[in-house]
C-alpha cells in the first residue's frame, strides 16, 4: 500500500485533504474549477484551462484578485506562474478587505510578479507601498520571460522570505505589517490596465501550501532561553545564532558544547535554516536519550558543505543519516555563505528529510542500524570545533500527537 507523506496526514483537519507531491503540502487549487476561491475587486476574468488558473485583463478595470476562501497566517507557499511581459501581477498573502466587507478594497502584503527586475520583493497593496525597503530591492534577472517561473514563499511571524527559480530574493522582517495583517487570504492579482491596452494573461499552476500555524519558535533571536550548552553559541543582531568554537576547541566529541533543547520530542516536524563556511560541518541530532552520549543514543542528520561534491552521495554527506546507509537522494547543498533550509519529519519509525525545498530522505528507521534508538529524546545542533563557524536561524518545531 502506498504511504501518504507524514506531514500531509497531519493537515487533513485544517485544509482540504488534496495531497500534493511534496511532504506536508496540500493543493490550494484542484486543477478543475475555482472551488475554494472568490473574486474580489475589478472585472478581470479568471478561468481554468489545462490545469491552470488563467487571469485575463479587462480594459479600464482596477486591480482584480482571485482570493482563497480560507485564511492563512504562518505558512509555506509554492506556485508556478507564466505571464505576458507587459503585465504586472502578484500574489497577495495575509490579505484582507477594507472594513472586512466582501467588496472592500483588497489590501495587504503582495509578492511581486513582474519583468521590471523587482519580482519577488514584497509590496504593501493598498497598505503603505513597498515593504521591502529601497536598500533591499536590488534589481535582478531571475524571471524567465514567457516561461514558467517557480515561486516559494515562507511567512512566519514578522518574517517573509521569497525565492524565485530556487534563488532567494527577499528576506524581510516587517513588524508593522505583521501587526496589521497577521492572517488573511491568498489572492491572485490581475493588475488593472487602461483603455486601449491588452488583453494580457497570467497563468498559475501547482499552488501548494504547508500550514506552519502549529509550529513553535525554538529560538527567540536574542538569547539561549530553552537551550543548554557550554559552547560558544553567540546570538547575532540579524536574529541568527552563531556557533564559533573557541581557540583550542577542536573535534566533535565535546558533547556539552552542542546546543541542546531542554525539552524532549517524540513525533515532530523540525524546520530550521543554516549557513556554513566552505567545508563547514555540523549536524542536527534528534531523539537523543543521553546528551552526554548522542552518537550512541540518538540520530543525526548530517549538515556539511557538500556543494562541490560530484557523483553519488554517502550517509556522511549533506542530509544523510549518519551511522546508516541512508544517503540524500540528490545533492541540494547551497554554496558556502548561503542559507540552507532543512525540514525533518519523524513519526514513529518513519523519517523524511527535505533540503532546500526537495525531499531527499524517506526511510523507515526500524530498517536501519537506528532501529533500537529511543522513540523520543532531546534535539540539538553540533559544535564540530574550529574552524566550523556556522549560523542557525528560524528554528521552529511542531510537536505531533501520538
CATH code of the domain covering residue 157: 2.60.120.560
Kindly state the average pLDDT of the residues 140-149: 96
Same domain, 196 and 295: no
- For residue 17, pLDDT over 90 is answered with no
Same domain, 202 and 342: no
Tell me whether residue 1 is in a domain: no
Question: In total, how many domains does the chain have?
Answer: 2
- Provide the pLDDT confidence category of residue 402 given band limits of 50, 70 and 90: low
Tell me whether residue 165 is in a domain: yes
**Residues ≥6 apart with Cβ < 8 Å to 112:** 88, 90, 118, 119, 120, 121, 122, 123
Provide the percentage of residues in the chain whose pLDDT is more than 90.
87
- For residue 10, pLDDT over 60 is answered with no
- For residue 317, pLDDT over 90 is answered with yes
Same domain, 206 and 295: no
Tell me whether residue 278 is in a domain: yes
Same domain, 271 and 300: yes
Contact 389, 281 (CB under 8 A): no
Is the CA virtual torsion 172, 175, 179, 182 positive or negative? positive
Terminal Cα distance for the chain, rounded: 22
Range of the domain at 251: 217-399
Tell me whether residue 305 is in a domain: yes
Kindly state the average pLDDT of the residues 386-391: 93
- CA 192 to mean position of chain CA atoms: 30
| pLDDT tens per residue across span 280-304 | 999 999 999 999 999 999 999 999 9
Residue 23 buriedness (CB in 10 A; 0-12 / 13-18 / 19+): buried
Same domain, 324 and 351: yes
User: What pLDDT, on a 0 to 100 scale, did the predictor assign at position 197?
Assistant: 86
Contact 93, 184 (CB under 8 A): yes
Torsion of CA 84, 85, 86, 91, to 10 degrees: 70
Which of 187, 207, 197 lies closest to 105, judged by CA? 187
Tell me whether residue 120 is in a domain: yes
How far apart are alpha carbons 268 and 218 in whole angstroms?
13
Last residue of a domain, one of 211, 230, 254: 211
Kindly state the average pLDDT of the residues 113-132: 96
Residue 128 buriedness (CB in 10 A; 0-12 / 13-18 / 19+): middle
Q: How many other CB atoms sit within 10 Å of the CB of residue 387?
A: 13
Same domain, 392 and 283: yes
Tell me whether residue 203 is in a domain: yes
Kindly state the average pLDDT of the residues 140-148: 96
Last residue of a domain, one of 155, 182, 211: 211
Tell me whether residue 196 is in a domain: yes
Per-residue cell: 97: 478587505
| pLDDT tens per residue across span 341-357 | 999 999 999 999 999 98
- For residue 279, pLDDT over 50 is answered with yes
- For residue 41, pLDDT over 60 is answered with yes
Kindly state the average pLDDT of the residues 101-111: 94
Same domain, 196 and 248: no
Kindly state the average pLDDT of the residues 314-324: 97
Kindly state the average pLDDT of the residues 302-307: 97
Same domain, 242 and 290: yes
Same domain, 192 and 226: no
Last residue of a domain, one of 177, 211, 245: 211
Same domain, 295 and 193: no
Same domain, 226 and 180: no
| Residue written as grid cell 513588524 | 175
Kindly state the average pLDDT of the residues 141-166: 96
Same domain, 192 and 67: yes
How far apart are alpha carbons 102 and 384 in whole angstroms?
55
Provide the percentage of residues in the chain whose pLDDT is more than 70.
94
Amino acid at each position: 500500500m502506498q504511504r501518504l507523506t507524514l506531514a500531509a496526514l497531519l493537515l487533513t483537519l485544517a485544509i482540504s485533504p488534496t495531497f500534493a507531491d511534496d511532504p506536508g503540502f496540500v493543493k490550494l487549487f484542484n486543477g478543475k474549477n475555482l472551488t475554494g476561491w472568490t473574486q474580489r475587486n475589478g472585472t478581470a476574468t479568471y478561468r481554468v484551462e489545462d490545469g491552470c488558473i488563467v487571469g485575463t485583463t479587462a480594459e479600464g478595470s482596477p486591480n482584480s484578485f482571485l482570493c482563497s476562501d480560507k485564511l492563512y497566517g504562518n505558512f509555506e507557499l509554492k506556485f508556478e506562474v507564466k505571464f505576458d511581459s507587459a503585465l504586472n501581477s502578484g500574489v497577495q498573502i495575509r490579505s484582507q478587505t477594507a472594513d472586512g466587507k466582501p467588496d472592500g478594497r483588497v489590501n495587504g502584503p503582495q509578492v511581486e510578479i513582474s519583468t521590471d527586475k523587482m519580482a519577488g520583493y514584497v509590496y504593501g497593496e493598498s497598505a503603505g507601498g513597498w515593504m521591502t525597503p529601497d536598500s533591499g530591492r536590488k534589481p535582478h534577472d531571475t524571471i524567465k520571460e514567457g516561461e514558467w517561473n517557480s515561486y516559494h514563499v515562507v511567512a512566519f511571524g514578522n518574517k517573509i522570505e521569497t525565492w524565485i527559480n530556487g534563488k532567494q530574493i527577499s528576506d524581510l522582517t516587517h513588524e508593522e505589517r505583521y501587526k496589521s495583517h497577521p492572517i488573511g487570504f491568498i489572492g491572485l492579482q490581475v493588475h488593472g490596465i487602461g483603455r486601449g491596452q491588452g488583453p494580457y494573461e497570467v497563468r498559475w499552476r501547482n499552488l501548494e501550501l504547508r500550514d506552519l500555524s502549529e509550529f513553535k519558535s525554538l529560538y527567540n533571536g536574542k538569547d539561549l532561553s530553552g537551550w543548554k550548552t557550554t559552547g560558544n553559541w553567540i546570538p547575532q543582531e540579524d536574529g541568527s545564532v552563531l556557533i564559533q568554537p573557541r581557540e583550542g576547541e577542536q573535534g566533535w566529541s565535546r558533547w556539552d558544547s552542542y546546543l541542546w533543547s531542554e525539552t524532549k520530542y517524540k513525533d515532530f516536524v523540525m524546520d530550521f535554516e543554516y549557513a556554513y563556511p566552505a567545508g563547514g560541518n555540523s549536524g542536527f541530532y534528534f531523539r537523543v536519550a543521553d546528551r552526554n552520549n548522542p552518537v550512541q543514543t540518538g540520530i543525526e542528520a548530517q549538515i556539511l558543505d557538500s556543494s562541490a561534491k560530484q557523483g553519488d552521495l554517502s550517509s556522511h554527506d549533506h542530509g544523510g543519516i549518519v551511522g546508516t546507509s541512508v544517503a540524500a537522494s540528490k545533492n541540494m547543498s547551497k554554496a558556502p555563505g548561503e542559507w540552507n533550509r532543512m525540514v525533518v519529519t519523524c513519526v514513529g519509525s518513519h523519517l523524511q528529510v527535505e533540503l532546500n525545498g526537495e525531499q531527499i530522505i524517506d526511510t523507515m528507521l526500524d530498517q536501519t542500524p537506528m532501529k533500537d534508538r529511543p522513540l523520543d529524546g532531546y534535539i540539538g545542533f553540533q559544535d564540530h570545533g574550529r574552524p566550523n563557524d556556522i549560523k542557525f536561524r528560524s528554528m521552529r518545531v511542531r510537536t505531533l500527537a501520538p
